[in-house]
């Protein structure tokens, strides 16, 4: 009798067999099928425009001939890279790209953070929304449109900027045609175009900060700047760290759209970047293998910089991409 009852109790309390991770994932995706379907276009985009073109990387190690195609063209090892590193124009493009990117990080990276904190401190809702809208608008204009506008307003003869400076006896300056001013013009116009859009992520992070922290700080007599220093900025640090890692990783990405629409042969010495160099050497001069080698070099350096920056960030603040 006892044995029979013990068997029933054991049967009742016998733990259920755990479902495999694959089955759990299947039920999870089935539950959120609508979201999975919405993700399909994104997956298709990356497969078609990011992964499939990676097969063309082989061109960087070949003596590419159009008539033979990528795979039938003979291999030449690292000859394309040796030729590339021996070219003065390539070394100039790398130097310009690094300098322009560093200037953007130094001056442009803090700009959206400052704007987000400033907007968060505004209590007049209508005024705050108006400023947000004004700061967001330039992001939705392509560099083709913005480039045409800047060429007109920065013209040394008819541009409104030089006309205003002329009232004070200053100028005229050829902002887009002089090597001394071109990099500064790139940095300023990039900040103007992207600062509003870049502040959205920081504003979202600030909105998630517990308001009780601010209330407690106010009860303790903390001033506005103290609340920003000891509550807002520390709460933004994880977001700041991740975005800084991504910016360092893309330090060789000088912004092709902007530079291509604003530069000219007069400012090649300071404005020619890797992306425009790849365009000229790969598409205009039809030296496809050399252009591919340039792009591969750029992406390889960017990947290494992401790894290094992430390791440093993890060691310093425990915040990183992984």
Which residue did the predictor score with more confidence, 8 or 145? 145
Cβ within 8 Å of residue 213, ≥6 positions away: 231
57-104 confidence digits (pLDDT tens): 888 898 888 888 888 888 888 888 998 889 998 999 999 999 999 999
Provide CATH code, domain 78-317.
Answer: 1.10.3720.10
123-132 confidence digits (pLDDT tens): 888 888 898 8
Cβ within 8 Å of residue 262, ≥6 positions away: 143, 147, 150, 151, 176, 182, 185, 186, 189, 271
Strand ranges (E), 19-81: none
How confident is the prediction for the chain on average, in pLDDT? Answer: 85
Span 189-194, mean pLDDT? Answer: 92
Sequence ranges of the domains in the chain: 20-77, 78-317
pLDDT at 44: 93
pLDDT at 1: 47
SS3 content of the chain, % helix, strand, coil (to 5): 75, 0, 20
User: Is the CB of residue 165 less than 8 Å from the CB of residue 172?
Assistant: yes
pLDDT at 9: 47
pLDDT at 310: 80
DSSP one-letter code for 74: P
Which residue did the predictor score with more confidence, 278 or 31? 278
């Amino acid at each position: 009798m006892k044995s029979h009852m013990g068997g029933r109790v054991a049967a009742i309390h016998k733990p259920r067999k755990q479902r495999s991770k694959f089955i759990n994932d299947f039920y999870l995706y089935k539950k959120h099928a609508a979201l999975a379907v919405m993700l399909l276009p994104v997956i298709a985009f990356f497969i078609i425009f990011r992964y499939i073109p990676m097969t063309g990387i082989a061109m960087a190690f070949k003596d590419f001939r159009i008539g033979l195609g990528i795979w039938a063209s003979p291999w030449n090892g690292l000859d394309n890279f040796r030729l590339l590193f021996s070219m003065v124009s390539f070394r100039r493009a790398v130097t310009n790209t690094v300098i322009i990117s560093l200037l953007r990080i130094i001056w442009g990276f803090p700009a959206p953070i400052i704007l987000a904190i400033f907007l968060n401190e505004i209590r007049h809702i209508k005024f705050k929304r108006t400023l947000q809208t004004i700061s967001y608008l330039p992001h939705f204009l392509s560099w083709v449109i913005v480039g045409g506008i800047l060429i007109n307003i920065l013209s040394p003869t008819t541009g409104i900027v030089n006309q205003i400076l002329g009232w004070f006896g200053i100028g005229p300056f050829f902002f887009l045609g002089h090597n001394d001013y071109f990099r500064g013009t790139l940095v300023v116009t990039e900040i103007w175009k992207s600062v509003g859009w870049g502040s959205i992520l920081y504003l979202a992070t600030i909105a998630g900060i517990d308001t009780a922290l601010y209330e407690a700080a106010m009860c303790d007599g903390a001033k506005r700047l103290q609340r920003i220093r000891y509550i807002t900025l520390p709460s933004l640090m994880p977001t700041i760290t991740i975005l800084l890692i991504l910016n360092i990783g893309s330090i060789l990405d000088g912004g092709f759209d902007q530079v291509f629409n604003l530069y000219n042969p007069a400012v090649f010495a300071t404005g020619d970047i890797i992306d425009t160099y790849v365009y000229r050497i790969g598409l205009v001069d039809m030296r496809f293998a050399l252009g591919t080698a340039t792009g591969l070099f750029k992406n390889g350096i960017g990947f290494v910089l992401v790894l290094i920056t992430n390791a440093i960030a993890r060691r310093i603040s425990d915040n990183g991409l992984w």
